[in-house]
């Protein structure tokens, strides 16, 4: 038998090339196709930014600043925290520190990316991404950041699928921590094409006839995008991409050490903005179990076109906080509870928030919510996830330019015994069975999972 006859013929490099192409073809055939219904958040840029945030977090833990943050938060709390509150403080500060890193990781205006942050911990892309929640994270909200330089020109392109978010805002801000709005484009002014696409130009020039234009300035450092999802099971965030128009200026990308230094600054500023400002001044200056009158603000991380109300609660096992809310004609409204340090507890599996798409309205168009440790069987129960104390920040967005005939946004609260709850609720209050509650929670969990698919 001629052994040479059994060998492949032809030059060795060509045989190797042929085998390589065959292997690549086989791998391509075996690889699963890209999912057409993949989340708009699951981008390659998101993966790379998450990877870098995790790496920097591993080597830069900021122990001194974390100790300062804990001291500031305790001072804002008003003294020695209860054992229940104290048990959550370390986790809240760890998330605050990770959020400072996330803000810094996507802070190069010459190489801008779209980054989803201020969210609970998640497992995706094979990564275990820590939570980065801070200062009243809203479970309805998809928060995304884009670094901006006032002297550059950018085009943000979006693609909307289905009905789109209940509310959308694009805020150009001076500071990633205290925000300080420079300019804003709201959802009602956004022009979206019939195919769901849109483009937003961002530069220092006036619009000059351009639709969807945001005029920048030398003070602008970031575009902060909010997509509020009212119906988690039907609404999806817009897909976003950002392009910086070439101008010949291409400096070196920032190193991990530079990013860590910027994260240090972010954390230092966050202690003041959120610990002193949001928790102390905005929240704990109000008497316990009350909520402040709704007000507008462009600082401390709040949306300039949004009315907000702040408060903190402390309830016994047999008590409930009953809150009746007038929407003031807002297109979007949400009633969430957070832990004593302004962080959501388990917003995916617990009904710790309800918005005007999810909640059952009263006959007069108002909404009544019940905050209690025990489930009272009311459809509009706000679950503090086992906590007896916590914080609350109500939000009204997309408010009408002229005051509503029923008046502006407002909220009234009272504490009652659970045994007498029925007498404190309006006629026609909707109750749910245990099975209906289970379906409520199953729908909530399934809706959130759409963000991670």
Q: Which is higher by pLDDT, 7 or 126?
A: 126
pLDDT at position 4? 35
Going by pLDDT thresholds of 50, 70 and 90, the confidence category of residue 14 is: very low
DSSP-assigned states of every residue in 317-361 = TTEEEEEEEE-TT-SEEEEEEE-TTS--S-TTTS--EEETTTSPP
d(CA 183, CA 174): 10
Tokens for 63, please give them. Answer: 């122990």
User: What value does the mean pLDDT take over residues 123-147?
Assistant: 98
d(CA 52, CA 49): 5
pLDDT at position 69? 98
pLDDT at position 407? 86
Q: Which is higher by pLDDT, 12 or 337?
A: 337
Alpha-carbon distances, residue 390 vs 166, 199, 280, 358 (angstroms): 27, 40, 13, 22
CA 402 to chain centre: 29
pLDDT at position 302? 54
Query: Is it the case that residue 104 has pLDDT exceeding 70?
Result: yes
Going by pLDDT thresholds of 50, 70 and 90, the confidence category of residue 138 is: very high
d(CA 53, CA 132): 10
Q: Which is higher by pLDDT, 38 or 27?
A: 38
Least confident of 1-10, 71-80, 105-114, 199-208: 1-10
Q: How do residues 309-365 score in pLDDT, each as one tens digit?
A: 999 999 999 999 999 999 999 999 999 999 999 999 999 999 999 999 999 999 999
Residues facing residue 271 across a β-bridge? none
Q: CA torsion angle for 261, 266, 268, 272 (degrees, to 10)?
A: 170
User: What value does the mean pLDDT take over residues 195-218?
Assistant: 97
d(CA 212, CA 53): 32
Q: Is the dihedral of CA 290, 181, 108, 245 positive or negative?
A: positive
- Nearest Cα neighbor of 129 from 141, 140, 142, 120 is 120
What is the residue whose two structure tokens read 């925000």? 179
d(CA 93, CA 339): 12
Query: Is it the case that residue 245 has pLDDT exceeding 90?
Result: yes
User: What value does the mean pLDDT take over residues 8-16?
Assistant: 40
The secondary structure of residue 303, as a DSSP letter, is: -
List the alpha helices (DSSP H) in 177-302: 256-270
pLDDT at position 303? 65
Q: How do residues 295-322 score in pLDDT, each as one tens digit?
A: 986 444 456 678 999 999 999 999 999 9
Going by pLDDT thresholds of 50, 70 and 90, the confidence category of residue 2 is: very low
pLDDT at position 29? 36
Mean pLDDT of the chain: 91
d(CA 97, CA 65): 9
d(CA 366, CA 404): 13
User: What value does the mean pLDDT take over residues 55-61?
Assistant: 98
Going by pLDDT thresholds of 50, 70 and 90, the confidence category of residue 402 is: confident
Going by pLDDT thresholds of 50, 70 and 90, the confidence category of residue 27 is: very low
pLDDT at position 401? 79
d(CA 384, CA 256): 38
Sorted by sequence, the CB contacts under 8 Å of residue 166 that are 6+ apart come out as 140, 228, 229, 230, 231, 235, 331, 332, 355, 357
Query: Is it the case that residue 13 has pLDDT exceeding 60?
Result: no
340 CB burial (10 A radius; 0-12, 13-18, 19+):
buried
pLDDT at position 306? 86
pLDDT at position 296? 80
Q: Which is higher by pLDDT, 51 or 297?
A: 51
Going by pLDDT thresholds of 50, 70 and 90, the confidence category of residue 43 is: very high
Tokens for 42, please give them. Answer: 């699951």
């Amino acid at each position: 038998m001629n052994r040479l006859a059994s060998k492949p013929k032809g030059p060795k490099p060509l045989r190797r090339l042929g085998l390589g192409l065959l292997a690549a073809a086989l791998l391509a055939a075996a690889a699963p196709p890209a999912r057409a219904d993949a989340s708009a958040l699951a981008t390659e840029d998101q993966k790379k930014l998450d990877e870098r945030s995790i790496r920097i977090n591993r080597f830069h833990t900021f122990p001194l600043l974390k100790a300062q943050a804990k001291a500031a938060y305790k001072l804002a709390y008003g003294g020695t925290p209860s054992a229940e509150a104290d048990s959550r403080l370390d986790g809240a500060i760890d998330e605050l520190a990770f959020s400072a890193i996330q803000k810094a990781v996507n802070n190069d205006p010459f190489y801008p990316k779209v980054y989803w942050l201020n969210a609970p911990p998640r497992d995706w892309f094979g990564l275990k991404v820590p939570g980065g929640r801070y200062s009243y994270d809203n479970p309805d909200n998809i928060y995304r950041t884009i670094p901006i330089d006032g002297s550059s020109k950018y085009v943000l392109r979006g693609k909307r699928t289905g009905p789109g978010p209940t509310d959308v805002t694009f805020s150009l801000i001076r500071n990633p921590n205290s925000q300080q709005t420079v300019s804003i484009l709201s959802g009602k002014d956004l022009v979206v094409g019939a195919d769901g696409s849109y483009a937003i130009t961002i530069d220092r020039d006036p619009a000059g006839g351009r639709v969807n234009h945001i005029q920048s300035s030398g003070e602008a450092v970031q575009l902060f995008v909010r997509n509020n999802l009212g119906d988690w099971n039907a609404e999806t965030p817009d897909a976003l991409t950002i392009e910086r128009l070439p101008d010949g200026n291409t400096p070196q990308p920032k190193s991990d050490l530079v990013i860590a230094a910027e994260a240090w600054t972010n954390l230092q500023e966050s202690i003041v903005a959120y610990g002193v400002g949001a928790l102390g001044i905005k929240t704990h200056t109000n008497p316990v179990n009350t909520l402040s009158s709704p007000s507008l603000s462009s600082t401390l991380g709040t949306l300039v076109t949004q009315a907000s109300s702040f408060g903190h609660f402390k309830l016994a096992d047999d008590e409930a906080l009953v809150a009746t809310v007038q929407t003031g004609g807002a297109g979007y409204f949400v009633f969430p509870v957070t832990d004593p340090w302004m962080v959501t507890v388990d917003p995916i599996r617990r009904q710790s928030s309800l918005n005007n798409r999810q909640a059952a309205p009263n006959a007069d168009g108002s909404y009544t919510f019940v905050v209690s440790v025990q489930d009272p069987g009311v459809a509009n129960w706000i679950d503090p996830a086992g906590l007896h104390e916590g914080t609350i920040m109500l939000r009204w967005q997309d408010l009408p330019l002229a005051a509503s005939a029923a008046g502006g946004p407002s909220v009234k609260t009272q504490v009652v015994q659970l045994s007498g709850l029925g007498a404190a609720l309006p006629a026609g209050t909707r109750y749910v069975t245990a099975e209906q509650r289970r379906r409520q929670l199953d729908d909530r969990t399934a809706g959130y999972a759409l963000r991670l698919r």
